[in-house]
Structure 1
Amino acid sequence: MGQIEWAMWANEQALASGLILVMGGIVATAGQFTKWYFGAYSIGAGVFVCLLEYPRGKRRKGSTMERCGQKYMTRVVKVFGPLTRNYYVRAFLHLALSVPAGFLLATILGTACLAIASCIYLLAAFRGEQWVPIEPKPKERPQVGGTIKQPPSNPPPRPPAEARKKPSEGEAAGAAGVSGGPQENPVPVIDEVV
């Protein structure tokens, strides 16, 4: 059985947590809760988490499905280098971002989800995983000579493969030696009636 890549789980969990933080922050801010400023903070923190977590990392084995438009955010995340690639940094960053949002009831669910994502990232870091961007593979052009093995010998329309079996060399030589002269046209000519 293969080894689980924990970073994939943490990425999905953190992205969902960011969205939950944004929604809870909107509810708290629009509802003018007593500590609505924590709701405004949750909106900013949720957007930051979503932007950081949107580009998926490349899996060690197998293929990774890229998110729509991920290549643009991948460039931004790559710029910060080890700060965004290291899962220890992400684990502690998510944990620090989740603490202030925990003081408000509307954002407590996002806080809990982000804390869980932080724990999963910490586990991924202990396992030696790190974020690697998904790079597009250069497309290989097919070689023209390599795709055609043997060109067709007779023009279209061609009969099925069973019907166009060629006679062996011995049969072909025997048939040419028997007739001795020019071969006649095997197609009968139909005279037109006028």
Structure 2
Amino acid sequence: MGKIEWAMWANEQALASGFILLTGGIVGVAGQFRGWQFAAYAVAAGVFVCLLEYPRSKRSKGTSVERTGQYCFTVCVKGFGPLTRNYYVRAFLHAAISVPGGFMLATVLGCVCLGIASLIYLVAAIRGEHWEPILPTKEIRKPVGESIKNPPQNPPPRPPPEMRRKRVDDLEGAAYDNPISVTANE
């Protein structure tokens, strides 16, 4: 079996929990619930978590697929250097961000989800994983093979090349000229 990349799971969990925290914060502020200041904090924290977690990390296998429009966020996250690249920092940051969300019912679910993401990031950090940006690379085009340049002329099933009928145009200096084709052209 392959090695589990914990950071990939933590990234998805943290992004989802950021959206949940944002949604709960919006509900708390719009409803003017008691302690709505915690909900306002949850809106800001949810936006921050979503912006931090939107860019995916490059996988160790190299089969990474970036999210749509990830490049500008990747440049921003990469700009903070070791603060955003180190998963120990992310684990403790998410744990600290999730604490105030526990004081209001509308934001408790986002708080718990972000705490779980923090634990998964801690496991990823212990396993030695770190964030690597997915940057665009120049694609090297391979030369097109001869079989692709000249597609088959006959429908399948095709007989082997030596058993195929020869076209008249391919036979140069043929021993037989069709008299009908010569008279028809004149």
User: Which residue number in structure 1 is paired with residue 170 of structure 2?
Assistant: none
> How do residues 31-180 of structure 1 correspond to structure 2 at under 5 angstroms?
31-143=31-143, 147-148=145-146, 161=161, 162-164=163-165
CA distance in 2, matches of 1:113, 1:51: 17
TM-score by length of 2: 0.82
**How many Å apart are 1:62 and its aligned residue?**
4.5
Secondary structure in structure 2 of the residue aligned to 1:131: coil
Judged with a 3 Å threshold, the aligned counterparts in structure 2 of structure 1 residues 189 and 109 are, in CA distance, closer, same or farther, namely same
Judged with a 3 Å threshold, the aligned counterparts in structure 2 of structure 1 residues 183 and 24 are, in CA distance, closer, same or farther, namely closer
CA distance in 2, matches of 1:95, 1:34: 24
The one-letter code sitting in structure 1 at the alignment partner of 2:81 is G
CA distance in 2, matches of 1:99, 1:158: 69
CA distance in 2, matches of 1:158, 1:97: 66
The one-letter code sitting in structure 2 at the alignment partner of 1:82 is P
List 4+ stretches of structure 1 deviating above 4 A.
157-160
The reply on whether 1:10 has 2:10 as its aligned counterpart is yes
How far does the alpha carbon of each residue in 1:33-59 deviate from its partner, in whole angstroms, 9 at most, with x for none? 110010000000000000000000011
How far does the alpha carbon of each residue in 1:115-139 deviate from its partner, in whole angstroms, 9 at most, with x for none? 0000000000000000001122311
User: Which residue number in structure 2 is paired with residue 168 of structure 1?
Assistant: none
**How many Å apart are 1:184 and its aligned residue?**
4.6
CA distance in 2, matches of 1:26, 1:183: 88
TM-score by length of 1: 0.79
How far does the alpha carbon of each residue in 1:22-77 deviate from its partner, in whole angstroms, 9 at most, with x for none? 11101110111110010000000000000000000011114122111111111111
Q: Report % sequence identity.
A: 60
The one-letter code sitting in structure 2 at the alignment partner of 1:70 is Q
CA distance in 2, matches of 1:20, 1:127: 28
The reply on whether 1:188 has 2:182 as its aligned counterpart is no
CA distance in 2, matches of 1:142, 1:54: 33
CA RMSD of superposed structures (Å): 2.5
CA distance in 1, matches of 2:91, 2:25: 22
Consecutive unaligned residues of structure 1, counting only runs of 5 or more, are 166-175, 177-181
CA distance in 1, matches of 2:164, 2:3: 54
The one-letter code sitting in structure 2 at the alignment partner of 1:54 is Y
